[in-house]
Amino acid sequence: MADLSRFPRLPLIGLPTPIEPLEGLSRHLGSALSGVRLLVKRDDLAGFGGGGNKLRKLEFLLGAARREGADTVITVGALQSNHARLTAAAAARSGFACELVLTRTVKREDADYTGSGNRFLDDLFGARVHVLPGEADALAAAEERATRLREQGRRVYVFPSGGSSAVGCLGYAACADEILRQADAMGLALANIVVPNGSSGTIVLKNSGVAAVVVR
């Protein structure tokens, strides 16, 4: 793996998150996947703010924001975005003001959806939230908001949905290295790494030297 130490990084995760066997699922699928042992990387146990692998990107994104002297971060996502929630939590912990531009991509107006879960936590973590229609260009709106804040003397760092930028994806490069080091320490010979695909940030794992199976 490449040396990532030259990139600024704010520690947010208690590393490494564990790799645990899925014994029950392995037994259940045994007839279809003969001899296959399934394991899971428990990034839900990472750090704070409810956990989740988006913290890996935020370590590098907020590191870059601090290096650039930013005092405010803005990101985008859907109304119940996990990434937005973790950005708000990480920004609060790290001393950044945070603004979230969220779109109503799910056609629900009930309070259980619009005011609970991640949306409740966004407010609890002190983020300023801008809610737009589902068809809106959230990133363009975020850049416009950043321009207005800069005119007021604020120093703003903007990153896209899911934090999936070149800087953010350094978090998954670091994760690939972490997985391989753990596998070596555990005596595991990994054949495949299966990753979900939303904003495509985890695709960097395909360069880890282990075959990556992407679930869309």
Per-residue model confidence as pLDDT tens digits over 122-136: 999 999 999 999 999
Six-digit token string for 191: 């054949």
Distance CA 110, CA 206 (A): 40
Domain span at residue 135? Answer: 68-163
Q: Is residue 127 part of a domain?
A: yes
Q: Which residues belong to the active site?
A: 81
Q: What is the mean pLDDT of the chain?
A: 87
CATH number at residue 108: 3.40.50.1100
Peptide bond into 18 cis (omega under 30): no
Position with higher pLDDT, 21 vs 155? 155
Give the dihedral sign, CA 134/137/140/144: negative
Q: Is residue 207 part of a domain?
A: no
pTM of the model: 0.87
In the chain, the number of structural domains is 1
Average pLDDT over residues 90-102: 97
Reported as a pLDDT band with limits 50, 70 and 90, residue 78 is: very high
CA nearest neighbour of 100 among 91, 88, 118, 117: 88
DSSP state of 146: H
Reported as a pLDDT band with limits 50, 70 and 90, residue 118 is: very high
Question: What are the pLDDT digits (tens) for 29-77?
Answer: 765 566 778 899 999 898 788 888 899 999 999 999 999 999 999 999 9
Q: Is residue 141 part of a domain?
A: yes
